[in-house]
Structure 1
Amino acid sequence: MRILQMSFSAGMLILAIFVIRSLAINRLPKKTFVALWGIVLLRLLVPITIPVKINIGDTLGGRILVENVDKTANALDLNYVVSGLMQGQMETSPQAANIFSTLYVVWVIGAIILLLFFLVSYIRSYRKLQEALPLEDNELLNAWLHENQLRRTIKLRVSDRISTPITYGIFSPKIVLPKMMCLTDNKQIEYVMSHELIHIKRFDNLWKIVSIIAVCVHWFNPLVWVMYVLFNRDLEISCDEEVISILGENNKEAYALALINLAEKRASISLFYNGFGKNSIQERIVSIMKYKKTKVLGFGCAIILVLAASIVFAVPTLSTGESSMPLITTSTNAIYAKLDVPSIEEITLNGYPVNEFGETYGPDIYDSILPEPDLILAEGVNGVKGYVKASDLSPEVKSIEEALAYNKQHKGGRYIPLYLQDGKTIIGEFYISN
């Protein structure tokens, strides 16, 4: 369930970024989109709990509607006679269990197959690059290397197995140049080496691996594949932009020409490594030729976008109770017209509402600050929704032995009333299974 929630929320973020990118790719700093995709990757891979309304604890006749299943039952709550309802351990129907089991197996198999595909591609590419020979007798390259050394030692190699410059390695980066490349062209060398150096400084190879992990985990989500393609493309476009900002706008045409001359058909090697060659070459050239120094307004918009995306990533997604309260039959219209379901926003801001008898009611959001409401939103027999009393769910027992005895007494399960928010008007039944 958590994987689906993460994938869904990230998918919404991907759609928003895709629209913004389509409208403003040449109006905002290209680093903006790299940062936004980075936030998406975190959303896809970091299992932060999102209190999206879900239904858990399917029983033979009813289920509690909760906002978060991460709360652990208190040790004393072994007397919670619904066999671990608070821990989401209630029985599900055999059909639902089979469906979820099948989907889980399909997801695991798909992830493993995709992971093996990328792993085999990596091994083949790595072997090719390992055949590259050290490049040590070029004065121009040696001088550049001396001027641009980082804490991580950069090594230069040359290979006849590639047709475009490639950078690989994270902690010990290596720049591999094609043997066919003219190593006496000062300008071309400057463009290529500056481009690859930026990839190394930004750990772009590491981000490529992270994006591949995200694809393997969320392979079933087509929007994640869209993110993967655009993320890799924006890494290159952002790198091009930084090269132009360093070398000056008067080098745009020459840099674009160098890009065209070196661009070849993308090889499988680009799955893991950064290259100067083709990666949506047309979009890159358009971006280069439209490059202008970013103004204050552009920076401001970029900051706002990144902050907004960060908030979407970090802040729980709130949903109202009404949104998941469909009308089951026409006979329930009158009931739902009287049923009051407070939204999560209202509960978060004002606490649970109180009925005329002094009882709190609403969906149990399992907040560490707010106590459990007296009346908990639930779905009863035949899909009727209402409230069950917390006291009915958990009879008072003083020891584990009493709880076990109670369970034994009600071995076949039991029915409890389903109320309106007043806690008096019975509208249905809720079945608790052992």
Structure 2
Amino acid sequence: MGNEEAVFYSRVLTELTLSFHIIYATIGVGVPLMIMIAQWVGIKKNDEHYILLARRWARGFVITVAVGVVTGTAIGMQLSLLWPNFMELAGNVIALPLFLETFAFFFEAIFLGIYLYTWDRFENQKKHLLLLIPVAIGASASAVFITIVNAFMNAPQGFDVLNGELVNINPLLAMFNPAMPTKVAHVVVTAYMTAAFVLAAIAAFRLLKGSNHIYHKKALFLTMKVGLVFSIAAAIIGDFSGKYLAEYQPEKLAAAEWHFETEENAPLILYGVLDNGEVKYAIKIPFALSILAHFNPTAEVIGLDQFPEDEIPPLYIHYLFDFMVTIGVWMTLLSLVYWLGIQMRWKLVHSKLFRWLIVLGGPLSILAIEAGWWLAEVGRQPWILRGLMRVEDAATTSGHVDTMLILFSGLYLVLGVGSIVVLTRMFRRNPVEQELEDRHATKGADIS
């Protein structure tokens, strides 16, 4: 296997691992917050349905955590095996957030274990709820620290390069780089948003399949409401991300927006096709790119004409950006219509069609997360460490990466199918109606 092939397979394997891991990582970050909100609402309203909601979500969450641990470990291993030159150069600088991410996970896992095994040990449910706070903090902190590593790759700082060696290393300065605030905020908020819409899709699916239980209706209302709040937050942070790119990574913004020439009053281009460098069939929103980049409709936006040919990211990231934004806007509108419909008592939001749209929103939200990550990673090309190290210079020269790709593909297939089968059986064998009946029977026996 030649060096070019090793680079290609290293990229494919890394993309496969990240694409698979991000599903479980997103659920892992978002669901603890959803469990905490459900249990808090249940305690506040003295409503057993919300308490049961938290309990059942927590059971399913454990399965996704287990898979997330395996794939997260795979990423750590692949960083060293597939990108040794990158780790040799940057390992000293970004070791701190990598260590902190591991610490955050153990912090989460310890309290999650205590939380799960003490469900019926607390007379005061509020004390039990307190155990969820470190779980939610640990889950979100894991996302924060690992995203800091990614942000560092986009805006490296906190060191000097002298004769090819890193000197004057300042890990904290490296962690708090210019890409960090918007990247971390966007990842965490979209994880909350996606987890809410995935759980909403499950509730809507159960209602469509004939279970008209009030439990599922409450689950749907809670998740859609939370999803609406975080989808609005994601849109606001996305706007800040555009302004960050305009200042620090203008080539990425220009490639994502097919902005070829530096100009003022820049329009935002949605969809369309490229025909010999000319954009056709696109929707152009006047002044919108200038507003996104600089909050000024007449501001100048740097185009791709300012960059060398070999430093321009692949132009197909334009479609990734469009796909991500389209789904984000669609889910915001869908959840807004649902919330208004409940307030105004519209029959539309209880219709089969509307509930199927909510079911579809779950996988669409996951796909939007995938598109966002591909945009983030591919949009940095050709750099692995922007401005310092190219991808081909960072990769391994091993001739066995293709074998690794086959082995890891098999592992992810087993993990993916296995987790779906286990989760499906877990909830199918223990339906809500049966669980509520058993709980009432247990309470009745306790009273007598």
TM-score, structure 1 as length reference = 0.32
Structure with more of its chain in helix, by fraction: 2
TM-score, structure 2 length as denominator? 0.32
| The structure with more strand, counted as a fraction of residues | 1
